[in-house]
């Protein structure tokens, strides 16, 4: 494991890159935004490719923040309707940075801050920062730590932890886009996907859940058996396992050409499947160039009868997601 200077923000703040290597897997993580810059894994023939969409230099991330390439997302991943929610009789107003709604923590969420970093064992890095009370409109001083590590099987483990000094809401995820043929190798549409979910939370025209649950059987959303993924997906899957204390495998992504396989295990109750249809023309990646599998609680949970995202004083927010790599 090693750390090196990756670049400097316009205000002079240095950004470092940490490289984790184990069992043929190499992962690079930036202190800026907790970004997973690259993931290098072998195919069925032993040829290694970079399979996470990202940029070679810091300037790419600064120029293209909207897609959240590889970023650590918070305080609240996904959307909150109208940029408002109520908690304990008080209403909180957030930045509306996605049409009428709040998205991925606001105008300057966790993805746009430089995090403190320190080694965590021989194969991990622990990132930490304090989000002050009122940050992007959210209540409470939130102390957050996120550890990226490679386990003995070469799997990337992301462990989240947070505490607060006042009641607040928290929903954290990582926003890596995967192309198992290789980043920049063309479209990831056609990758095979399997998700252990019998339902989704259907959404309105602005991406906010209606509050209902919809069965996936007989619809284009049904990935209970592996099949090729197509365009037009940006939906939260209600994982059959629910919330668990330890990560449980919930999703599988495979590239028939290279044989590379990605498995996703998590403690979270939801998974957002996004096929990157909204990549704009100024990006070096076309729409569908990657598939995001974001483990999370559900969108707009603070305003809906969904599993709670409230964190109170004295409680500890804990979440873990594991990305496993293999080839067949």
What are the start-end ranges of the H helices in the chain?
Answer: 58-63
Q: Catalytic one among 40, 136, 268, 294?
A: 294
> Nearest-CA neighbor of 77 among 54, 100, 106?
106
Dihedral in degrees, nearest 10, Cα atoms 97, 86, 309, 306: -100
Question: Is the Cα dihedral 165, 294, 79, 67 positive or negative?
Answer: positive
To the question of whether residue 76 is assigned a binding role by annotation, the answer is: no
Burial class of residue 185 (count of CB atoms within 10 Å of its CB; 0-12, 13-18, 19+): middle
To the question of whether residue 104 is assigned a binding role by annotation, the answer is: no
Q: Catalytic one among 104, 113, 123, 175?
A: 175
Query: Alpha-carbon distance 48 to 45, whole Å?
Result: 9
Give yes or no: 294 in active site: yes
To the question of whether residue 177 is assigned a binding role by annotation, the answer is: yes
C-alpha distances in Å from residue 198, one per residue of 51, 104, 223, 261:
28, 25, 9, 22
First to last CA, the chain: 28
> Nearest-CA neighbor of 158 among 240, 262, 247, 260?
247
For residue 114, give the DSSP letter: B
Interacting residues of 56 by C-beta distance below 8 A, sequence separation 6+: none
How is 165-218 classified by DSSP, letter by letter?
SS-EE-B-EEE-EE-TT-TTSS--BTBEEEE-EEEE--B-TTS-B-S--EE-TT
Dihedral in degrees, nearest 10, Cα atoms 156, 79, 282, 107: -100
The answer to whether the beta carbons of residues 272 and 263 sit under 8 Å apart is: no
Dihedral in degrees, nearest 10, Cα atoms 101, 106, 111, 114: 180
Give yes or no: 113 in active site: no
To the question of whether residue 78 is assigned a binding role by annotation, the answer is: yes
To the question of whether residue 135 is assigned a binding role by annotation, the answer is: no
To the question of whether residue 92 is assigned a binding role by annotation, the answer is: no
Q: Which positions are annotated as active-site residues?
A: 175, 294
The annotation places the binding site at 78-79, 175-177, 234
The annotation places the binding site for beta-D-galactose at 78-79, 175-177, 234
């Amino acid at each position: 494991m090693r750390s090196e200077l990756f670049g400097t923000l316009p205000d002079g703040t240095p950004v470092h890159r940490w490289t984790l290597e184990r069992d043929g897997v190499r992962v690079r993580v930036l202190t800026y935004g907790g970004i997973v810059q690259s993931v290098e894994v072998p195919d069925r023939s032993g040829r290694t490719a970079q399979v996470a969409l990202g940029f070679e230099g810091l300037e790419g991330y600064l120029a293209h923040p909207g897609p959240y390439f590889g970023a650590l997302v918070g305080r609240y991943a996904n959307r909150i309707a109208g940029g408002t929610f109520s908690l304990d009789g008080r209403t909180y107003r957030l930045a509306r940075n996605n049409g009428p709604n709040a998205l991925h923590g606001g105008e300057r969420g966790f993805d746009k801050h430089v995090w403190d970093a320190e080694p965590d064992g021989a194969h991990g890095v622990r990132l930490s920062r304090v989000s002050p009370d009122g940050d992007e409109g959210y209540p409470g001083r939130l102390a957050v730590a996120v550890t990226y590590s490679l386990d003995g099987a070469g799997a990337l483990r992301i462990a989240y932890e947070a505490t607060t000094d006042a009641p607040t809401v928290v929903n954290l995820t990582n926003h890596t886009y995967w192309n198992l043929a290789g980043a920049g190798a063309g479209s990831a549409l056609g990758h095979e996907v399997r998700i252990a979910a019998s339902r989704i939370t259907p959404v309105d025209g602005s991406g906010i859940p209606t509050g209902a649950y919809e069965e996936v059987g007989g619809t284009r959303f049904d990935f209970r058996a592996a099949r090729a993924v197509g365009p037009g997906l940006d939906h939260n899957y209600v994982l059959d396992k629910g919330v668990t204390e330890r990560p449980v495998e919930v999703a599988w992504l495979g590239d028939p050409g290279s044989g590379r396989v990605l498995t996703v295990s998590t403690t979270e109750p939801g998974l957002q499947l996004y096929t990157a249809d909204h990549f704009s023309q100024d990006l070096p990646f076309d729409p569908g160039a990657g598939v995001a599998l974001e483990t999370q609680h559900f969108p707009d949970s603070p305003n809906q009868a969904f599993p709670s995202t409230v964190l109170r004083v004295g409680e500890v927010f804990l979440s873990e997601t594991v990305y496993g790599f293999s080839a067949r």
